[in-house]
Amino acid sequence: MDPVPIGEAARLLKINTSALRYYEEIGLVRPAARVGGRRTYGRAELRRLAFVQMAQELGFSLEVIAEVLDQPGGRWHEAIDAQIARLEVLIEQARRAQDFLVHARECTTANPVQECTTLAHVLDRRVDGLTLDEIAKEHHP
């Protein structure tokens, strides 16, 4: 089952063949070999591709992925730590966003942005230069 052509690799990974060629173009994943000019991917390459996909879902850019793949060891840990931190911020923000949205959903006025006094107040604080986080803290200090 080892060396598969590009179409099969694409099917396995649920990705477009054009994406595979693109990855090669930017030096991210090279096929194992060419057979009659055609790309073939082996187990190692499929793993590498699977890793690329997962890392993408975990929020890494292709640039960072290429970097950690080619400089194993140090950069690897750094990148992971950075991403863990980013995700922590993301989760925190998303939580607050949810709180805010749940509150906004309660509002019964037709055009909350102009008519809801609570929302208007928050927006005005915002115009005064406060961030969402600071406004949230103002309400739950």
Partner DNA sequence: TCTTGACTTCAAGTCGGCTTGAACCACCAG
Partner DNA sequence: CTGGTGGTTCAAGCCGACTTGAAGTCAAGA
**H or E element that contains 33:** strand 33-35
Q: Does 36 bind DNA (CB under 7 A)?
A: yes
Contacts for 61 with CB less than 8 Å, ≥ 6 apart: none
Q: Is 38 in the site for DNA (CB under 7 A)?
A: yes
Give residues in contact with its own copies (CB under 8 A): 12-14, 43-44, 46-51, 53-54, 57-59, 69, 72-73, 76-77, 80-81, 83-84, 87-88, 90-91, 93-95, 97-98, 100-102, 104-105, 110-114, 119-120, 122-124, 126-129, 132
CA within 13 Å, CB half, 45: 23
d(CA 35, CA 125): 64
- Site membership for DNA, residue 112 (CB under 7 A): no
